[in-house]
Structure 1
């Protein structure tokens, strides 16, 4: 069997920066185990499998270790690629995912994903997180939230402290599974933009994600909910610790955030395998 495979760097217009995602086209017949094997082989934080369905596109998202319902940077990568190939159009496109039917807007080369209303699904033990993350200086509240994908979020005072974090990945994976989140996003308001962050998701095979779209939507909702920074438009930076800096834009339409960014194609090839 033969599929087209691309590497697309999301949340940046500079190749080899931002967050890389693999996008696999032309293979809707694959079963879950084959998709998971391909994601492990390509070994990026996310691999998206996409094919036309009804009046839009079906997309399934895989980390090297598991399937997840939704991924922001892989959505941006996927629809930027579809737009560049002439398969998706400027304006609103429909994406059908495990998280439901989602609008994806393409405007002036920037891709926007409409996320669900940010919701709190639980409170996290900030004391346990201090031990796991190796710092005494976390800023609460520590919450589990979702805009389609459940993730933990907690603050830290300074950018320097953010860069110095060295989580215990084994304990963080266990903590994440026990609390029903795929990972933990640590943010700081000590940023050139509205905030900077790092996202750790060892529970799904991603020790650190360079630039995270879903977590950015959650962060914007968290900042509004807690009154720490109440705005309708945000710009967040991420990826510094991995030397893959990127920028995420968040704009609210009512209570629902649009998360957007640029992308660039950095690799194209073909994948051959037996099924």
Structure 2
């Protein structure tokens, strides 16, 4: 039997955040077993950390699939690793990712995506997500469709057709609206087993990449997400010189014994 740390990443104060399972004892665990644990926990992602090498290796699983990169698992992993040893990098499917961990939170730094293109605003209209003022497709390497909506109220009122979204050619859809330095966002990834994600660090990277592509070469934003799924969350993101930093607060709720 092994333990799993249950965190909430990107909390808004002491509330909300995106739940994350972190497993550091991988003895005898196959990829199939990791996927089964992630499905049983049912969080947006669970991260498995192999700390036997000089740079810890993270494998990240949604309830339905392994993914090469995701923000809140790496922020949570960085926070846990900061309590365990002197590490300052964690490896994943996109390479080594620098992180900074503090008592109440953690931050990761990754290159902005250069694979950004404008997308027709009607791309997701058939899934109930019409009315966008602008759109981009960003590869991280998973493909995200970003749709800028007219107002935060429109983002909050969106009612997507999850079955239709699951069949699209991209893996995740971010709706967002900017208002005085704050972004109201929602993220949907039914193809990955996540209908609506409470807080999506990778989507924050995608948004910074898209804004840089559109001419905002540096900047910072606070992203509020998760209210519609009763998990109010807050992500801080800033970008400059082709790099994006994403982070926020982390809370540990419990250490749970797994049955595997």
Structure 2 contact 9–76 (Cα < 8 Å) conserved: yes
Report the equivalent of 2:254: 267
| Distance in 1 of aligned mates of 2:27 and 2:181 | 40
Q: 1:241 aligns with which of 223, 228, 235?
A: 228
What's the offset of the Cα at 1:41?
A: 0.5
Report the equivalent of 1:211: 199
Secondary structure at the aligned position of 1:36 is classed as helix
Secondary structure at the aligned position of 1:9 is classed as strand
Secondary structure at the aligned position of 2:124 is classed as helix
Map residues 45-124 of structure 1 onto 2, 5 A cutoff: 45-83=44-82, 86-89=83-86, 93-107=88-102, 109-124=104-119
Indicate yes or no: 2:178 matched with 1:189: yes
Structure 1 contact 8–81 (Cα < 8 Å) conserved: no
Structure 2 contact 79–102 (Cα < 8 Å) conserved: no
Superposed CA deviations along residues 4-31 of structure 1, whole A, max 9, x for unmatched, are 1121000116555111111112115421
Q: 1:221 aligns with which of 194, 205, 209?
A: 209
Larger mean CA deviation between 147-156 and 31-40 belongs to 147-156
Secondary structure at the aligned position of 1:138 is classed as coil
| Distance in 2 of aligned mates of 1:127 and 1:14 | 36
| Distance in 1 of aligned mates of 2:139 and 2:177 | 19
TM-score of the aligned structures, taking structure 1 as reference length: 0.87
Q: How many pairs align? A: 260
| Distance in 1 of aligned mates of 2:121 and 2:12 | 36
Superposed CA deviations along residues 14-60 of structure 1, whole A, max 9, x for unmatched, are 55511111111211542111111111101111010112142221110
Structure 1 contact 24–48 (Cα < 8 Å) conserved: yes
Structure 2, unaligned runs of 5 or more: none
What's the offset of the Cα at 1:154?
A: 1.1
Secondary structure at the aligned position of 1:61 is classed as strand
Map residues 1-80 of structure 1 onto 2, 5 A cutoff: 2-12=1-11, 14=13, 17-80=16-79
Map residues 127-142 of structure 1 onto 2, 5 A cutoff: 127-135=122-130, 137-140=131-134, 142=135
Superposed CA deviations along residues 152-186 of structure 1, whole A, max 9, x for unmatched, are 211101111111111111110111xx2xx321111
Larger mean CA deviation between 118-127 and 233-242 belongs to 118-127
What's the offset of the Cα at 1:244?
A: 1.2
Secondary structure at the aligned position of 1:56 is classed as coil
What's the offset of the Cα at 1:258?
A: 1.0
What's the offset of the Cα at 1:62?
A: 0.3
Change (3 A) 1:230 1:113: same
| Distance in 2 of aligned mates of 1:147 and 1:34 | 26
Structure 1 contact 13–264 (Cα < 8 Å) conserved: no
Structure 1, unaligned runs of 5 or more: none
